[in-house]
Structure 1
Amino acid sequence: MVSPKKDLASVLVIAAHPDDEVLGCGGTIAKFAASGTPVHLAFLADGVGARGDAGQNLSPAEQQALDQRRAAARRAADILGAASVSFDDLPDNRLDSIPLLDITQRVEARIAQHRPDSVFTHHAGDLNIDHRRVHQAVVTACRPQRGHPVKTLLTFEVPSSTEWQPPGSGKPFAPNWFVDISATLAQKLAALDAYAQELRDWPHPRSRQGVEHLARWRGATVGCEAAEAFVIARHVQ
């Protein structure tokens, strides 16, 4: 397990949609923030565009849903103690229709803005296409070139996407990096409540109970009350 270090310049969480950050690493965000490390949140897709008519122009109802989702993201960020939140406007569940270069350039802009030591993003094997495309873009933007600020790259799991990928259809999520969130689980769940409209009823994995049970199970596997699990893609000491 690892603990946040106060000497880190900053942490950047790059997620496809608002709520992915809480589901995947909300407790870790809160733990970094409590340690004095600035955590910046960047969302690339609008989170609602795929729910209405085809095309990228949002209907009035979709625009209202988008405004509500972004307001929820800001409330969640405040609960977790994040330093900043940014929103992009890529189409929800259609990132496979966007050239990878375009997505990568948006990620590169956030990295240039925040100069993070550590980046957290989606796992490569998620069922959700947006998650996979964001993963590709982040890995591309974080190529280990001389002078690049990112030294640690970690991928998180998102309930109802990571575990829903059938065996053989994608890379399995085999965590090898754990963060003890025993002290920040309550903040994670409170931040999750900000996204009440996105939650489902138990036993759906994206229910409040499902998220807590996963944190408890991840904790039990490494000997603590609650944890979040990650796959470490790269770490330069």
Structure 2
Amino acid sequence: MQNTDCCLVIAPHPDDETLGCGGTILKLKALGVTVHWLIVTTMDGVAGYEQDRVPVREKEIESVKDAYGFDKVHYCCLPATRLDTLGKGELIGAIGKVIRSVKPDRVYVPYRNDVHSDHAEVFDAAISASKTFRSPFVRAIYAYETLSETDFGLRPDDPGFRPNLYEDISGYLDKKLSIMSLFDGEMGEFPFPRSEECLRALATLRGAQANCKAAEAFMTLKEIR
């Protein structure tokens, strides 16, 4: 793991950060790193979502924040599942504002070709906002994989998620799974992809690729040393 003082984990929706890099977040915090969490979307006021879930989700976010020990949570409050209806400038501006405020040297983003359109929009906006001449303090950008989104991205022109960086999370997997369970209704019974069996299986597979018991995998998009 590269030495870093401050990192920003960008999640299109609450739970993406846990699915993609929950163990890494716990590892960073154990190393004394300042970790910020950016939640891009909200279900509040968005058609198709039960509005009585909004206060419940807010309590879940607070519980997850405490469990990780995030130094701060940031919100863009943009409509979930509707990011592709917004102007590019609005999304870039909202994410860029947080990046400029936090000034992280490391940024984690969702994989560009996930099946969920919100993930693609967040990726594009985060990369644009992190351009070196805009955010010279950003020294590294890593893309994470998200079970039920990355693995269902079946575009024929996409070479697929091909990790070139692995974090050993052998000592953090159980707590990652415990935190994921705080999101009520997001986990399901196997073979549902967001199940404990699937999360453990992916961590075991990535661990085998990295010669450890459990790992999370990333694609290095930029790294300045």
The question of whether the paired residues in 2 share the 8 Å contact of 1:122 and 1:157 is answered with yes
The question of whether the paired residues in 1 share the 8 Å contact of 2:12 and 2:119 is answered with yes
AA matched with 2:84: D
User: Is 143-152 or 23-32 further displaced after alignment?
Assistant: 143-152
The answer to whether structure 1 residue 13 and structure 2 residue 9 are counterparts is yes
Cα deviations by residue, 1:11-70 (Å, 9 ceiling, x for unpaired)? 001110000010010000010011000110001111463534xxxxxxxx41x3122223
Q: 196, 199, 202: which is aligned to 1:214?
A: 202
> Equivalents in 2 of 1:104, 1:146: separation in Å?
12
Corresponding residue for residue 214 of structure 2: 226
Gaps of 5+ in 2: none
> Equivalents in 1 of 2:135, 2:76: separation in Å?
26
The question of whether the paired residues in 2 share the 8 Å contact of 1:47 and 1:91 is answered with yes
Corresponding residue for residue 48 of structure 2: 51
Q: 18, 21, 25: which is aligned to 1:22?
A: 18
The question of whether the paired residues in 1 share the 8 Å contact of 2:60 and 2:182 is answered with yes
Q: Give the deviation of 1:200 after TM superposition.
A: 1.7
Corresponding residue for residue 55 of structure 1: none
The answer to whether structure 1 residue 174 and structure 2 residue 174 are counterparts is no
SS in 1 for 2:181: helix
SS in 2 for 1:196: coil
The question of whether the paired residues in 2 share the 8 Å contact of 1:124 and 1:171 is answered with no
Q: Which residues of 2 match residues 108-123 of structure 1 at below 5 A? A: 108-123=96-111
Corresponding residue for residue 88 of structure 2: 100
Alpha-carbon distance change, 170 to 96 in structure 1, aligned in 2, over 3 angstroms: farther
The question of whether the paired residues in 2 share the 8 Å contact of 1:30 and 1:82 is answered with no
Alpha-carbon distance change, 129 to 198 in structure 1, aligned in 2, over 3 angstroms: same
> Equivalents in 1 of 2:36, 2:160: separation in Å?
27
Q: Give the deviation of 1:83 after TM superposition.
A: 1.2
User: Is 209-218 or 35-44 further displaced after alignment?
Assistant: 209-218
Q: 157, 175, 183: which is aligned to 1:187?
A: 175
After TM superposition, the score normalised by the length of structure 2 is 0.94
Q: 28, 32, 46: which is aligned to 1:32?
A: 28
Gaps of 5+ in 1: 53-60
After TM superposition, the score normalised by the length of structure 1 is 0.89
Corresponding residue for residue 119 of structure 2: 131
The question of whether the paired residues in 2 share the 8 Å contact of 1:175 and 1:231 is answered with yes
Query: What percentage of residue pairs aligned between the two structures are identical?
Result: 32
